[in-house]
Amino acid sequence: MSASSARLSLIFSCIGHFYFHYFAAMYFTIVIAMAADWDRPFHDLIELWLPASILIGAASLPAGRLADIWSAPGMMVIMFLGMGAATAACAFAEQDLVLTGFLAMIGLFGAIYHPVGISWLIRNSDGSTGKKLAVNGIFGGLGAAAAGGITGLILEFFSWREAFLLPGILCAGTGAVMLWCVATGRISEGEKSARKNNPAMGNGNLKAFCLLLFPMFAIGLLYSTMQAAMPKLFEEGLIGLVGGNLALVGAMVAAVYVAGAAMQVVGGHMADHHSKKMVYVICWMGQIPLLTIVALTGDVMLLTAATFMVVLNNSALPSENMLLSQYTPERHQGLAFGIKFILAFGAAPLGVKLISWVREATGSFEWLILGLAAMSVLAVVVVLFLPSDRPAKFEGETVPAE
């Protein structure tokens, strides 16, 4: 791969990460305005995202496999075009069924990004993999932040329809630009064998891979549940700070995710220079007290704890991705990341359903968030059983080749 092609690959991978997290989170702010416009309860409308969240997880495995056997850049082009068109189409929905269908298409095309974009980035990295993953992660965090901030502003000055239409057009346009870059040879597939230049890629460890499955699921459930709940949590819990103003709610959500995105650089640096397992353990341990504070407090304490909770969640991702790559044979990288994101994003429907159930039963988020804190305790225990990640030592069973 040429230097210019590698740079363009990094650029489009980062842009794709931004778009994915923007589109995956914007509905949770839009739905607050839709509930008023359609005169429907919040817990009814948020369930319309359920098929999308299922597809984000379920379609990850075939997307990763297609990238392994066909083309990672080609799959990325499909993601940009499909996700953009589906998002723009949501603006014209008048009924639940139609909106649910278009939201589901966002999930289907969005499922391409993580198993394809992340493994593509790791494969084309020739060193400082943690730093590159952190930069990529910053774009994802900024996407989640923008989903609150930008969506809140659009809702303040326009309507929920423009909140779908404008970003959808922009995403589809990005896909057209990437298609041109691929068609003209400016972006190529890249080297299929990058292991010798990339110490983050390992020889495979089936036992460690299986142990990693639970914390990958748990971090996905934690992230998606809190992302879906946060706009409503802030609207109610920060009443002394935002007074129910949706633009301010969106700005607060944005600030939390900007902070989380920025701290991925620290997480990536730590993963490059220290034990990835230990970095991962520390990030998980910090979630336990922070989630408890989020559940039981309000206003400044809630905002502060939520910010550090997202910071640790995002900071864990470079080490998690590097551990996964280390535990997976090179030829199965796309497949392994597909499995990861089936688990991580497959947890999202459960998170949405839990929000709906708990809100309907209790009228608050308290018991839901305390449950996430209890899950974090179990995740810490499992991560402690992962093998040492000392360089050039790969223990246990090797994942069988095809």
Count Cα atoms within 13 angstroms, Cβ side, for 194. 23
Can you tell me the mean pLDDT for 295-311? Answer: 92
Q: Give 200's pLDDT tier (boundaries 50, 70, 90).
A: very low
Say yes or no to pLDDT of 314 above 90: no
Contacts for 180 with CB less than 8 Å, ≥ 6 apart = none
Alpha carbon 53 to its chain's center:
11
Query: What confidence category does residue 191 fall into, taking pLDDT thresholds of 50, 70 and 90?
Result: low
Query: Is the model's pLDDT at 340 over the cut of 60?
Result: yes
The pLDDT-based confidence of 147 (bands split at 50, 70, 90) is confident
The average pLDDT across 335-342 equals 82
Position 401 pLDDT exceeds 70? no
C-alpha–C-alpha distance, residues 336 and 330, integer Å: 10
**Confidence grade of residue 231 (pLDDT, cut at 50, 70, 90):** confident
Question: Which band of pLDDT confidence, cut at 50, 70 and 90, is reported for residue 194?
Answer: very low
Report whether pLDDT(82) > 90: yes
pLDDT of residue 368: 93
- pLDDT above 90: residue 291: yes
Of 332 and 164, more confident: 164
Percent of the chain with pLDDT over 90: 34
* Tokens read off for 313: 């969640």
Averaged confidence pLDDT in the chain = 84
Domains of the chain (ranges; CATH) run: 3-192+199-384 (1.20.1250.20)
* Mean pLDDT in residue range 328-337: 75
Each residue of 5-47: pLDDT tens digit? 777 888 999 999 999 999 988 998 898 888 888 888 877 888 8
Query: For residues 314 and 202, which has the higher predicted lDDT (pLDDT)?
Result: 314
Give the model's pLDDT for residue 199.
46
* Per-residue pLDDT band at 2 (split at 50, 70, 90): low
- Give me the pLDDT at residue 58, please: 83
Per-residue model confidence (pLDDT) at position 239:
79
- The answer to whether 112 touches 341, Cβ cutoff 8 Å, is no
Q: What is the pLDDT of residue 395?
A: 38
Instruction: Give the total residue count for the chain.
Output: 402
Give the span between the Cα atoms of 55 and 28, in whole angstroms.
Answer: 17
Q: What is the pLDDT of residue 106?
A: 96
**Greatest mean pLDDT range, 74-78, 140-144, 157-161, 202-206:** 74-78
Of the two residues 240 and 370, the one the predictor is more confident about is 370
Is residue 76 a contact partner of residue 109, using CB atoms and an 8 Å limit?
Answer: no
Residue 390: pLDDT band (50, 70, 90) is: low
Whether pLDDT at 160 is above 50: yes
Predicted confidence at residue 377, as pLDDT, reads 97
What is the pLDDT at residue 126? 64
